[in-house]
A and B are shown apart, each in its own frame.
Chain A
Amino acid sequence: MSIHETTVPASTLGMPPAPPGARIVASRWKRNLLLFLLVFGPGLIVMEADNDAGAVSTYTQAGAQYGTHLLWVLLLLLPITYFAQEMVARLGIATGEGHAAMIFRRFGRWWGIFSLFDLELVNFFTLVTEFAGIALATGALGVSAYLSVPIAAVALVVLVATGSYRRWERMTIALCLIDVAWLAFALAVHPHGGQALHDTIVPNLPPGGLSSSLVFLVIAIVGTTIAPWQLFFQQSCVADKRLRFADLRHARLDTFIGAVFTILVAGAMMLVGDLSYRHGLTFSDPAQMAKDLGPYAGPLVRYGVPLLFINACLLGTTAVSLASAWAFGEVRGWPHSLQKSVRAAPGFYGAYGACVALAAAIVLIPNAPLQLIIITVQVLAGIMLPVAVIFLQLLLNDRELLGDRWVNKRWNNLINWTIVGVLFVLSLVLAVQVIFPNLFGQ
């Protein structure tokens, strides 16, 4: 139990004292608040890290091309992303094991290898897009990619290699909270509040109706808001943090706050893009968009957007690399905890470092087809997401393992299978869309 009942005065009555590191808090609400703050982290990080390079590109592009018309998609994605992540948090707390380990244990070696291969493949390409984002954003600020990318890679390795989960978590939460600045930027571009509110609540199509690029963008928004690595990341993170059974409600709240914050930030990115739409500017990438918006929005947006873009890439890189390294460590049976030093868990940190170094190296190859890699990543992630959710769904219905307390309730299953169905159709459309680009007309 996370809140222990003891008696006072321990010394006089011979009762066991509170363990080292414990803090006695008499007030019930203060105790709850403190406990929540101790549990808080994995939910916010997994959600906000998903606002990575691909997400910043996708949301700002959606705003720049369609104004506020696609804000409603984000609102729809809020419960979907929460329910998917709540399941992995629950599974991680119940079993104390990561997602890859659970798949190996309950579905066997073949399915385990299959899932791990899917994850590592998509993660690796995602990492390449994160470093491509860093190169793009620092380039817009006049810094060479040959300088910024290696510095970022080293910083990302240092971030995790301190041998302290808590230190990593605090630093990463700080990076997440920097994204609050997106909300300030959204206000700075003076959005049309009434129109934005209407487009958030009422699903609608932009002028021009359904088109190939609109379908692609909507699916890209879905694909970038919920990604397979998130499922693996949060379960491993919860297991590494050793969250206890009684922490579940706080972990749920953490996940919910993370989901709301992420969607708000995503909406803010669309609103910044919307300024581009209102001025009829052509969108190529977020860094270029910031340059173009400089005369209209001032230096805050001109220099702030590339800086936030870099922050998004750093967050995405650390989370995706950790998802890969945790999964690899779980499957190989290596020590795999941020609480361990590099010397105590060489395989885990080696996998993390290798992911970061390889992805950074690819970005530095002259004339690497980065745009092609970005498109391929979106398609692969879209295809593999429903499969990952199906495994999750089967695990959450594993009564033999979880018993009645932890398995999904009937309503859980109804919602989740609906989500799987929708994601499956969207992933199929996305794949077909890429293979037959003119399917929905231009």
Chain B
Amino acid sequence: MAIKNTSATLDLLAEAASRPLPYVIHPLDDAPEQKLSGEGLGTMRLSLAARLALGALRAYILLMIVLVGLKAMSLAGWINLG
């Protein structure tokens, strides 16, 4: 179909041209995005209470690993816990 090259037609074309036409792209094909980087921030500032809590947590975990290990070895018959 022939389109008349009138100003109205040109307006329509211009409008169509300026209308956003989004596209979808797989993340792996997309340009890399600037992420929030922790570089230069150093380690997190923790309050004394938080540091103590994490320390207690560390002790708890180590104790539990040892306890579970002993229990497992006892069940396997490698040691006798009495």
Contact = CB atoms under 8 A, between A and B. Distances in A.
Secondary structure of the A contact surface, majority rule:
helix
Contacts of B20: 5-7
A22 B25 CA distance: 4
A390 B28 CA distance: 31
B56 to A, nearest CB: 11
A20 B29 contact: yes
A435 B72 CA distance: 9
B68 A383 contact: yes
Interface in B27-82: 27-33, 35-39, 41, 43-45, 50, 54, 57-58, 61, 64-65, 67-68, 71-72, 75-76
Interface stretch (A72-80, A211-219, A256-264, A395-403): A395-403
B17 A12 contact: yes
A243 interface: yes
Given A18-B23, A23-B25, A401-B38, A372 B67 contact: no
Interface in A11-43: 12-13, 18-26, 31, 34-35, 38-39
Contact of A9 (B17, B33, B39, B71): B17
Nearest to B22: A3
Nearest to B39: A105
B30 A244 contact: yes
B71 A434 contact: yes
A376 B26 contact: no
A400 B41 contact: yes
A430 to B, nearest CB: 10
A166 interface: yes
B2 interface: no
Given A242-B30, A372-B76, A434-B71, A105 B38 contact: yes
B67 A95 contact: no
Interface string A376-418: 1001100110010010001000101111001000000000000
Contact of A38 (B22, B26, B67, B75): B26
Contact of B43 (A34, A107, A390): A107
A118 interface: yes
B19 interface: yes
Contacts of B41: 105-106, 400-401
Contacts of B39: 105
Contacts of B18: 7
A32 to B, nearest CB: 9
Nearest to A37: B24
Interface residues of A, number: 66
Contact of B28 (A18, A108, A339): A339
A21 B23 CA distance: 10
B58 A2 contact: no
Given A6-B20, A8-B19, A35-B24, A114 B38 contact: no
A3 B24 contact: yes
A330 to B, nearest CB: 13
A99 interface: no
A206 B26 CA distance: 49
B21 interface: yes
Interface in A239-284: 241-245, 247
B49 to A, nearest CB: 13
Contact of B33 (A23, A31, A114, A244): A244
B24 A38 contact: yes
Contact of A26 (B21, B35, B68, B75): B21
Closest 3 CB pairs of A and B: A21-B29, A96-B35, A22-B25
21 contacts: A3-B24, A5-B21, A6-B22, A7-B21, A8-B16, A8-B21, A21-B26, A21-B29, A23-B24, A24-B23, A102-B38, A105-B38, A241-B28, A244-B27, A244-B30, A375-B75, A376-B68, A383-B64, A403-B36, A435-B67, A435-B68
Interface of A: 2-9, 12-13, 18-26, 31, 34-35, 38-39, 94-97, 102, 105-108, 111, 114, 118, 121, 165-166, 241-245, 247, 339, 369, 372, 375-376, 379-380, 383-384, 387, 390, 394, 398, 400-403, 406, 431, 434-435
